[in-house]
């Protein structure tokens, strides 16, 4: 049976490669993450949006993503969800003065 090809540039293709690069197998990843194979393949195939921000943290931890790789994962997940990246939202929620600073910059724009 031929391997499934995912749309180039899609979140699914990126996510499949990320798992290949950081996990022993998809089966091990599923077990470590505690999600169903159906859910994972729905994400791969674009039938559901990329993972929620809470799930993004779990995935990044299971795959041991750090630094730029974690940021890229948050960015790509957010893009597919039409949201701000999780780390940016977390930062703003923990630093409310930054929200006002952003608003001031937006007014000046």
> What CA–CA distance (Å, rounded) separates 28 from 88?
30
DSSP labels, 50-81:
SPPHHHHHHHHHHTT--HHHHHHHHHHHHHHH
> What CA–CA distance (Å, rounded) separates 89 from 91?
5
- Spans of all domains in the chain: 11-83
pLDDT of residue 5: 73
Q: Is the pLDDT of residue 1 over 70?
A: no
> What CA–CA distance (Å, rounded) separates 33 from 21?
16
Say what the pTM is.
0.88
CATH superfamily of domain region 11-83: lambda repressor-like DNA-binding domains (1.10.260.40)
Residue with tokens 């890229």: 72
Model pLDDT for residues 50-99, shown as the tens digit of each residue: 999 999 999 999 999 999 999 999 999 999 999 999 999 999 999 999 99
Q: In angstroms, how far is CA 5 from the centroid of its own chain?
A: 20
């Amino acid at each position: 049976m031929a391997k499934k090809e995912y749309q180039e540039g899609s979140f699914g293709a990126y996510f499949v490669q990320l798992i290949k690069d950081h996990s022993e197998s998809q089966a091990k990843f599923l077990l470590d993450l505690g999600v169903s194979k159906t859910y994972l393949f729905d994400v791969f195939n674009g039938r559901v949006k990329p993972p929620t921000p809470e799930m993004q943290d779990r995935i990044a931890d299971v795959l041991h993503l750090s630094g730029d790789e974690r940021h890229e994962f948050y960015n790509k997940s957010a893009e597919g969800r039409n949201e701000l990246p999780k780390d940016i939202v977390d930062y703003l929620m923990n630093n409310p003065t930054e929200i006002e600073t952003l608003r001031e910059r937006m007014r000046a724009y």
